[in-house]
């Protein structure tokens, strides 16, 4: 039980801290972005090295290191997008009245390079862990990708709670791809599939040997999935957990209700639901 608690607390802490760090860096003066991205790229290189180095390790240290490295790699994706460094073909407001598939095409174009970067980085993580016993980094990355895309599609289709505190000023044009609605047809599907996956992870935790690396791997990824599901519900429920990350906002910015409650990093996934 101690191992489960420690792994769960670790996942929650990394989710909370990485989210705040990304919010802080994305909302600084644009003149700092080059330095932030340079450091983040060095961290990304270290994360990929760690993923490769721990892929053959089935012990607890390897599981924790792989999980952390995958989150750091995802953090680079979020930072590069919300600083405006890696976005897409379109970087401006969508024209009023634009709807349907045309509007969706504009939204996709706005983040095309970002989406390609996700695929390329995902393939790199997959290649580094291919045929190896420790695939925690790969499962973590795939989980983040799933919840990231699910959150963005839900925000595009329409959700009840959308506030704009955490969206960097230089990315304000993304607001044209965000829609308010009491519900959308994708939300129940997203939550049901994600919850089913989370329940499966919980079952595997119970079945795993106490204190084992496999138990820790399921607790870490399961905690992240649970947090991502919670973030989805925050989009529909009248709750505003923005105070959890207000420390990441510059003091000069107004601090009203939050746009998101990330997931990645969310967690890196929280910024993922800022929409595009």
In angstroms, rounded to a whole number, what is the distance separating the alpha carbons of residues 157 and 153?
A: 6
Domain boundaries, the chain: 2-274
Find residue 180's DSSP bridge partners.
159
**Please, which contacts does 97-104 make with residues 24 or more away whose CB atoms are closer than 8 Å?**
103/177, 104/156
Report the chain's C-alpha Rg in angstroms: 18
170: its two tokens: 């230089």
pLDDT band at 242 (very low <50, low <70, confident <90, very high): low
In angstroms, rounded to a whole number, what is the distance separating the alpha carbons of residues 84 and 172?
A: 11
17-76: pLDDT as tens digits: 888 888 888 888 888 999 999 999 999 999 999 999 999 988 999 999 999 999 999 999
In angstroms, rounded to a whole number, what is the distance separating the alpha carbons of residues 95 and 98?
A: 6
259: its two tokens: 């746009």
> Coil, strand, or helix at residue 159?
strand
Question: ∠ at Cα 101 (74, 85), nearest 5°?
Answer: 30
In angstroms, rounded to a whole number, what is the distance separating the alpha carbons of residues 209 and 215?
A: 7
DSSP type of residue 180: B
- Tell which residue, 12, 60, 5, 2, has the closest CA to residue 223: 12
In angstroms, rounded to a whole number, what is the distance separating the alpha carbons of residues 104 and 107?
A: 5
Contact status, residue 77 vs residue 114, Cβ threshold 8 Å = yes
Question: ∠ at Cα 145 (96, 12), nearest 5°?
Answer: 110
pLDDT band at 258 (very low <50, low <70, confident <90, very high): very low
List the single range of 75-84, 160-169, 173-182 with lowest mean pLDDT: 160-169
**pTM (predicted TM-score):** 0.85
DSSP type of residue 28: S
In angstroms, rounded to a whole number, what is the distance separating the alpha carbons of residues 268 and 90?
A: 23
Q: Which has more confidence, 59 or 92? A: 59
Region 1-12 average pLDDT: 87
List the single range of 56-60, 68-72, 129-133, 269-273 with lowest mean pLDDT: 269-273
In angstroms, rounded to a whole number, what is the distance separating the alpha carbons of residues 56 and 128?
A: 10
């Amino acid at each position: 039980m101690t191992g489960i608690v420690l792994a769960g607390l670790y996942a929650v802490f990394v989710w909370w801290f990485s989210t705040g760090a990304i919010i802080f860096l994305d909302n600084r003066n644009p003149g700092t972005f080059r330095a932030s991205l340079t450091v983040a790229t060095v961290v990304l290189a270290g994360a990929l090295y760690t993923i490769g180095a721990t892929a053959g390790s089935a012990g607890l240290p390897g599981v924790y290191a792989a999980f952390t490295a995958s989150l750091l790699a995802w953090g680079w994706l979020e930072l590069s997008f919300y600083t405006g460094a890696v976005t897409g073909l379109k970087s401006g407001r969508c024209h009023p009245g634009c709807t349907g598939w045309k509007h969706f095409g504009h939204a996709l174009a706005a983040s095309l390079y970002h989406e390609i970067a996700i695929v390329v980085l995902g393939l790199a993580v997959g290649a580094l862990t291919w045929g190896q016993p420790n695939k925690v980094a790969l499962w973590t990355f795939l989980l983040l990708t799933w919840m990231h895309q699910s959150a963005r599609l839900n925000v595009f289709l329409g959700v009840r709670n959308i506030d704009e505190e955490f969206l960097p000023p230089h990315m304000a044009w993304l607001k044209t791809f965000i829609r308010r609605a009491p519900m959308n047809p994708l939300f129940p599907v997203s939550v049901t599939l994600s919850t089913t996956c989370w329940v499966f992870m919980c079952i595997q935790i119970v079945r795993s040997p106490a204190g084992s690396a496999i138990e820790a791997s399921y607790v870490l990824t399961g905690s992240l999935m649970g947090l991502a599901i919670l973030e989805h519900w925050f989009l529909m429920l009248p709750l505003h957990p923005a105070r959890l990350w207000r420390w990441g906002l510059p003091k000069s910015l107004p601090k009203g209700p939050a746009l998101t409650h990330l997931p990645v990093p969310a967690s890196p996934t929280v910024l993922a639901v800022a929409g595009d």
